[in-house]
Structure formats: C-alpha cells, structure tokens
Amino acid sequence: MKELDRETQSSYTVELVATDGGNPYRSGSTKITIKVTDFNDNSPVFDQNSFSVSLPEDAPVGTVILDLNAVDADEGSNGEVVYGFGKQVSHEIRELFQVDNKSGRLTLRSPVDFEDKSTYELDVQATDLGPNPTPSVCKIIIHITDVNDNAPEISITPMTSITTGIAYISEAADKDSLVALISTLDRDSGVNSQVHCTLYGHDHFKLRQAYEDSYMIVTAAALDRERISEYNLTVMAEDFGSPPLRKITQYTIRLSDENDNAPHFTKAVYEVSVVENNAPGAYITTVEASDADLGNNGKITYRLVDSVIMGSPVNTFVSLNSVSGSIYALRSFNYEVMKHLDIHIQASDGGSPQLQSTAVIRLKIVDQNDNQPSIIEPPLYKGSAEVFLPKDAPAGYVVTQIKATDADEGTNAQLSYKITEGGHLGFSINKDTGKVHVSRQLTYDLTDNVKVTVSVSDNGSPALTSTAIIHFSFIEGTLPSLPSFAQNGSEELFEWDMSIAIIIVLAGSCSLLLLAIILITTICSRRKKETRERGCDEKDDIPNVEKVESGHIDSVIANHKGKVFDAHPFPEKPPLAGSNTAEPGCEDGRQTAGIFESNSRVMEGKLKGYSTLPGYGKETVRPITIWKGNSFTTISARDPHISGKDSGKGDSDFNDSDSDISGDVHKKESPPMNSECQKSTIKIIIK
C-alpha cells in the first residue's frame, strides 16, 4: 500500500468478485470507482521567486508594473489563489503601489519621484483559500529611473467667458473666428523646454500657432447649437525631452443661441374627435410644439389661423389657449349638421425675427343616438295610416312595408320593426325589412275595424323608438297584384306578393320562348315559300281559279285532315272595303276582283279561323285562299296588289307557278310597273 495523491491520480476503478461455496461454485462481480477527494496539501507557486523591474519616475498613476502569477495544484477553494502585500511591507510602499488580490497585477498607485527615492523593495505573497493555507512569497525590486520630469504648463484665456474655464461663441460665428488663446510654459531647459501643443475633441475647432509658445483656438466649420451645444476639447502640451513630457487639459466651449429654428409641432395633422351634443367649453385636445432655440427664441405662443367654417369664423367654434395650446369647444356640435371641421393652429416663437409653423387639427364629430326613427311609408296622418287589403287574404300575403329612416349613423341608424299591439289579429312583421304579412287566413268583414301598432327602434344606446297605428280596410275581390294604402286622398302601391311576382316571371319567360319559336318558324317559312312577282297581269289566274270547285277543295281538305295551314298577314295597306277598282297601270282590274270573289265563295266556311286584318275598314273581310298545284295561296280580299303567281325565279315548289291542269305552261311578258303594282304572296302549304 502507498499514500494517495489526488494530483497524481484522481480516481481508481476496481472489480469486486463474490464467490459462494457450492460445487461447482457460483460467482458475481461488480466494478467500483473510487474518487480521491482533494486535501489542501499544496501551496501556490510563483513563476519566479523574485523580480527586478524599472519604473520611470514620470509613470502615470495606474501604470502596470508587473503581472504576477501563482498556481496551486489543489482543486476548488484549495486551489483558488489570492494576492497581497507581505506583512513586512511598509505603509509608504502601500501608498505608492497596489496589487490586485485576484489577478496579481502590480500597479502604480501614486506618482514616484526619482529625486525622493530610487529603489523600492517589497514582498507579494500568494495564498490559497483552503483550510490551513501555506502562503508563498515573491520578492520584487522596483528601480525608479530618472526622466524629464517637468511637464509643460498650459494656460487658456477665452475671448468671451461667463464661467471660469468655459469659452462662449455664437453659433452664427464665421469660420476661423477666434475662441481662446493658449499659453504654454516648461521649467526645464534646452530641448526639454520646447513645447508642442495639440487640440483633440472635434473637427469644428483647430489650433493655430500665434508665436513661439502661444496658440489660438479658432473655428474650423459652421456651428449649430441645436445639434451640438457644447464641445469638450482636450489640449495637450508636450516637450521634446527624452522621453517627452506632456500636459493634458480639458476645455469646454459653449455656443450661444441664435433664432434659427421655427417651432415644430409633434404632429403635422392631429386627428381628434368629440361626441356631438357636447357642452360648450368642453375640452377637445392640446397641441404641442417645440423650439430647439433657447430663451425667447424658444418661447412658443399659439393662435388660431383665421378661417371660415360654414359661413362663420373659426373662433366661434373653438377657443385656443395661447400658452398651453389647449383647445376648447365654444358651442355644442351636431353630427347631422357638421360631421368634421379642420382647424389650423399657428405656433410662433419670441425671437427676432419671429419664426412660425402651422398644424392642422381634423376634428371629427362622433354621432350620438339623438334622433328617433322617422316613418316615411306608409304616409302617416296624426301618427296613423290606412291600408287596404282583401278581406280573405291568405297567410303570407304582404300587406304593406313599413319604411323608416334615422338621421343618425352606424348602429344608431340600424332599425328594427315590431308589432307592439294587435299582433294576435292575424298580422306579423319582419323585424329587419318592415314587411307586414298576413300570419293566418283572414275572415274579416268589410266593416270590421282592425288596427295594429307598429314600433320602429334603432340600435343605439339607449334605443329610440317611433310608433305608428296601421288601420286595415278590407275590400272585396281577388288579391290585387299590388296592395295599396291610402292617406289623405293619395294612394301608393304596396309591394307585390312574392308568389305573384314568380308567376309573372315564369309567364313572361314562356311567352318569350314561344315568341322566339314562332319567329324562327316564320322566317324559315318565308325564305322557302314566299314569292314576289313584279307585274300586274292576273289573266292567267282566272281559268285556274274557276277550275277549283268546292267539292274538289273538300276532298283535298279531307285527304289532308289534321294538317296545319300557316297563314301570314300582309303588311301592305289594302284599299277600302268593297272597292274592286283596278290600280293604275294594271290590266283588267275586274278580272282580279273576280278572282277574290271566286275564292271567297269557294273557301267560305272553310277558313273561319282566319282573322281579319286590323284597321282595313269596318266590315269583317276574310282572306281568300286559292289552290295552286299542291298548295293553297292566301291573299287579302281587299288588296288588289296581291297575285297568286310565283316570282318565276325558282323560289317556289314544283307546280307553284301559274298553269292549267294539263300542265302546259303559259308564260307572258310582264309590262313595266310602278311600285303600286308590287304584289306579295303568302301560301298555306299542305305537307
């Protein structure tokens, strides 16, 4: 066995084995770690046991003389080292030097002078913080070296001074303006008495040598008191000794103010609000402006800029405290009359010349629930209105709609409707729209007097309410498409019932669809069947018409039972009824008239479904249909301009042209004719 030393080995690991006495025996093992705890058995050890250093006599206070270092091999507090002077160190040395107890740094505490003493011996000991510590001692010898120990002296004389040691100059001073005069003095001789002076602190000032040992502080740039009001400069005078000595002096230069800044508002625009119906004299807001200048140059007064608001001066609406900038209302504001106003404020300083700036106050009047709802429909007379409706109106029928307005805004103008009296009489109201509905089947008589009380409330706080009495007058008959109400002899239409509106929309849609189908069919039929003939010769039509007998037409109609005849009215205006006079320029007008008469007799009773053309006279005149090939041609009995001939241009079906039964084609040259001789032909085709 040997002694443990934590500094040599701090821990051990052993394996413990346990064995039983059986046969065969059984064993188990475990590892044990042994950690050696520290014991304060080591003293701190310096890097060196002694030091010898040199210190110039002009070394400044705080100069680091030596960095001492001692190490203790123990751990924890046993290894933590502190430094200090030995017990034998004199009070004089303690006044001149000091050692940092943690870092071991030895520094100069007070100036030394080679002429007083050239060598100092002192002991510095290192001690750990463990129990029963054993300190270690380091011996230090400090040699003071002789140097140029007379530093220059500095004297500063300001051009303008109110306080000792401070120079003043206007911020408006020009460049190279003189601020102060510096004088230097060194009691040494020869080279050690020659002094060089330097200025540190700011580029706005510089030194200029006046003569051998004197310098001037002058401005080097434009000055601005509002940016920098005071300069702390450093003046250093250094001799040419070896080593050189220097003297450093701090000097302050303050700038006097000039009125070169206008007042500045914290905001260019102030957004403020006041609730309407305020009391006169109510506080609104306070504007604030600042001026970077001093004294009267920075003293601010406020005033209202003259303006006119709604025909009145602004000072009749608000007042302004010229010192504090507080603004007060001079009248009670009404949101419904004035929603906002702009107030211009001017801030002026007390400098010379005086400087000003302006700001705008945008005053918003906040709405207050001070207006009751006003019922506009139905029109009221002494708080009531009369409404007409069928006595047997069904449930859901819209009787009327209560409409109201509120001069307020926002939630103060959100309206709700309610029946406060008479709700059991069979009526209900939509709280949002104000529509009054029949809530059940009505069974009132015409003489019954039924009335309900309707209230309209806004959503303000507190809510305001208006009421109206609605008298219902019952009428006979079916439901009108638009119920009506009457008041003082005037009548207004109610809103349509929703079901009636839906029926009308559906009927209109079907009508438009049917009209489109008819229009397309008509266009297609006209393009295929309609012919136009230029000419007035009708002679060939007479024999063909006479060959068509009633029996033959009956057989044709019977053979085509169920077929559809398309009839097209003629747009041309016919002559007066009963007139069979031939048109000028047309041959054989009597024969043409004969065609109409013949066809009229033949088709009488067969075309009862055809209607007369409107506006052609008082008598009812049926259209005349003639048979041509395999189709009927319908013409007006009043229009001598109509011919049964095709155009001869191939735009009609086979056998549509004028021909006899044998099929011989007789073509005649048509003489020139005027516009009155133009004819239109519409055919009813049996397919």
**DSSP 3-state of 522:** helix
pLDDT digits (tens, 9 = 90+) for 609-668: 333 333 334 344 445 545 444 444 444 444 444 444 444 444 444 344 443 433 443 333
Question: Strand order of the sheet with strand 340-348?
Answer: 269-275, 356-366, 340-348, 301-304
> What are 186's two structure tokens?
């060194």
> What residue has token string 């508002």?
265
CATH of 153-256, one of 2.60.40.60, 3.40.109.10, 2.60.120.260, 2.20.25.90: 2.60.40.60
CATH topology identical between 264-366 and 382-496: yes
Confidence of residue 39 (pLDDT cuts 50, 70, 90): low
**pLDDT on residue 477:** 66
Per the CB < 8 A criterion, the answer to whether 166 and 252 are in contact is yes
Beta bridge partners of 687: none
Task: Count other Cβ atoms within 10 Å, centred on residue 505.
Answer: 10
In the chain, domain spans: 153-256, 264-366, 382-496, 530-685
566/346 Cα distance (integer angstroms): 90
**pLDDT on residue 579:** 37
88/91 Cα distance (integer angstroms): 9
Per the CB < 8 A criterion, the answer to whether 171 and 225 are in contact is yes
300/323 Cα distance (integer angstroms): 7
pLDDT digits (tens, 9 = 90+) for 401-460: 999 998 888 888 889 999 999 888 889 999 999 999 999 888 888 888 889 999 999 898
Confidence of residue 573 (pLDDT cuts 50, 70, 90): very low
647/673 Cα distance (integer angstroms): 15
Q: What's the whole-number mean pLDDT along residues 156-184? A: 88
CATH of 264-366, one of 2.60.40.60, 3.30.497.10, 1.10.940.10, 3.30.470.30: 2.60.40.60
Indicate the pairing of strand 105-108 with strand 119-128.
unpaired
Output 509 or 674, whichever has higher pLDDT.
509
pTM: 0.42
> What are 150's two structure tokens?
């007379």
222/219 Cα distance (integer angstroms): 8
**pLDDT on residue 498:** 56
CATH architecture of 382-496: Sandwich (2.60)
Beta bridge partners of 344: 360
**DSSP 3-state of 391:** coil
What DSSP string runs through 98-114? EE-TTT-EEEE-S---T
